[in-house]
Amino acid sequence: MDKAENADKSAPHNTAETTGMKRGLTSYGDQGFSLFLRKAFIKGAGYTDQALDRPVIGIVNTGSGFNACHGNMPQLVEAVKRGVMLAGGLPIDFPTISIHESFSSPTSMYLRNLMSMDTEEMIRAQPMDAVVLIGGCDKTVPAQLMGAASAGMPAIQLVTGAMLTGSHRSERVGACTDCRRYWGKFRANEIDQQEIDDVNNQLVASVGTCSVMGTASTMACIAEALGMTVPGGATPPAVTADRIRVAEQTGTTAVKLASERLTIDRILTPKAFENAMRVLLAIGGSTNAIVHLSAIAGRLGHTIDLDTLDRMGKETPVLLDLKPTGQHYMEDFHKAGGVATLLRELKPLLHLDALTVSGQTLGEQIEASGAGFKQDVVRSFAQPIYPQGGLAVLRGNLAPGGAIIKQSAADAKLMEHEGRAVVFENVEDLIARVDDDALDVNADDVLVLKNIGPVGAPGMPEAGYIPIPRKLARAGVKDMVRISDGRMSGTAFGTIVLHVTPEAAVGGALAYVRNGDRIRLSVVNREIALLVSDDELQRRAQATPIKRPTAERGYRKLFLQTVTQADEGVDFDFLRAASLQKDKPD
């Protein structure tokens, strides 16, 4: 983890003269008039001078009819407001973009940076002394942390919380690991249309984020590990009184952050990011989290080193028995004591002096959480779910910039494998051919999907969870080695190599893989290798030069021109800290 000086000097700074309604006054050439006008308009909402003299706490409201993960937003906003007022602050909520994984085309990742920009600029533009970030669904929490990190304001994260589990024919089910498991059964003709319709009604039993260790749950746990939530803020389910109490406490803590001017850069330090990486490995968390952590860190001039992550993984076992790596659900993790229970086990590996939004160090928070109690969701080091961390970093001629495999959710028999490549050029090609009975494929082959990276898709969709070809699924094949430059949901499972860097669309070696090439995967050696000579790869590159995708206008043009690769967080290059921005040729 490298620390570089953040050269962005435009972030707002609290002073005694610029607090509350006096912050960031709109310029009319007369500051007195600017404040007079601002107070006149806000008084139209019924505020008194006494209320307007208090510290202002902004509350980011990401409620949306298209986002059931945020369906408890009204209750959370009201509870935060109550906490703010109990502590003597003035709460004011404001809307920003809301992103839901299943309702974002072409992918929610495509819109994450836009949401971060919206969050950053609304924090900068509006008068507030601290901000409460309320998010939940996959990309919303990282987008908010990215935006808040760039804005430089005292900030605290509140996650919406996980949904409750449902029941299908007496079996407990929850989104979205069980979504994929049952859909796999349906594709293999193991269940009929009536049953898949029945289970569809039970997979999402309430509002809230996925009930397994998908990206939303992973980012919730990481936010707590980073010190950005109140203690215990990650795990209370969305529809519980515990979640509402966490929201109230978040509002109260936000006022304290404002009074102490505890800015986000003092929380999100290199030590905090290393703590987050430890927790990510120990929970068997989503591969997406590496991309998000890289993006958040990059806003502050830090970098996430993949080799450091891999080294940590060899000494940090998976301790959390939660789907898709284990068997339990998020509500069980909460009943087992939540992240505090995990942190107690990880204590020897953590930076205990890292500061949190509570004003305490992480070590002090762990001590304050007590001695713990008997439970079976978080394991001890002596009895891990998986002996190493959930993620492993692969390198080789196919991925010189690195690739990721979620080894804790892979088939042990396939983690040392060599096979013939069966290549799909893009998602459209995959859709057209993967279920064709004429497809030349067998269970020992390696499925390769190109052009679903940050630029190629665009937006790096979660299409890396390549479906097993239907004829093989019907024959009982449950897993195959699959490789792509895209992502997969944290709820997914299988022997899947992701985030191949550089991606095919910018000329990475993946672009030149052909049907019939041999590919070797060796997780023990951390290798992903295309068994083709360098000379042959060079000939292929010369014969088929890559033309980077472009767009004529709008957000897509901005995205394609400025998005970085997976190892740099798929952020826009100009949004990273100035010290990390690379000079472009004229």
Q: What is the pLDDT of residues 192-235, one digit of tens each?
A: 999 999 999 999 999 999 999 999 999 999 999 999 999 999 99
Rounded Cα gap, residues 515 and 241, in angstroms: 55
pLDDT of residue 583: 64
CA 341, CA 33: separation in Å to the nearest integer? 54
Domains identified in the chain and CATH numbers: 166-200 (no CATH), 395-543 (3.50.30.80)
Residue 330: name the closest of 423, 394, 243 by CA: 243
Amino acid making up residue 403 = A
CA distances in angstroms from 139 to 71, 289, 299, 354, 557, listed in the order given: 16, 10, 16, 25, 21
CA 39/CA 124 separation, integer angstroms: 18
Contact (CB, 8 A) for 409 and 425: no
Q: How far is CA 539 from CA 89, 398, 534, in A?
A: 66, 16, 9
Q: What is the pLDDT of residues 306-346, one digit of tens each?
A: 999 999 999 999 999 999 999 999 999 999 999 999 999 99
What's the rounded Cα separation, in Å, for the pair 459 and 83? Answer: 38
Residue 9 pLDDT > 80: no
Return the minimum-mean-pLDDT range out of 140-149, 159-168, 488-497, 515-524: 488-497
pLDDT at 7: 40
Is the confidence at residue 584, as pLDDT, over 80? no
Residue 462 near residue 215 (C-beta atoms within 8 A): no
pLDDT at 582: 77
pLDDT score of 18: 82
Beta bridge partners of 302: 3
CB 318 within 8 A of CB 407: no
Local structure of 563: helix, strand or coil:
strand
- Residue 449: pLDDT above 70? yes
Q: How far apart are the first and last CA of the chain?
A: 31
**Which residues pair with residue 527 across a beta bridge?**
395, 522
- 63, 73 contact by CB (below 8 A): yes
Cis link prior to 176 (omega < 30° from 0)?
Answer: yes
Mean pLDDT of all residues in 154-169: 97
For 302, how many CA atoms within 13 A lie in the half-sphere containing its CB?
A: 24
515-520-526 Cα angle (round to 5): 140
Task: Give yes or no for a contact between 209 and 160, defined as CB atoms under 8 angstroms apart.
Answer: yes
Distances (CA, A) of 518 to 95, 117, 246, 421, 429: 51, 43, 52, 6, 21
Residue type present at position 513: V
Number of residues that this document lists for the chain: 586
Query: Given a cut of 90, is residue 462 above it in pLDDT?
Result: yes
CB contact at 8 A, 230 and 357 = yes
Pairing of strands 90-95, 166-168: unpaired
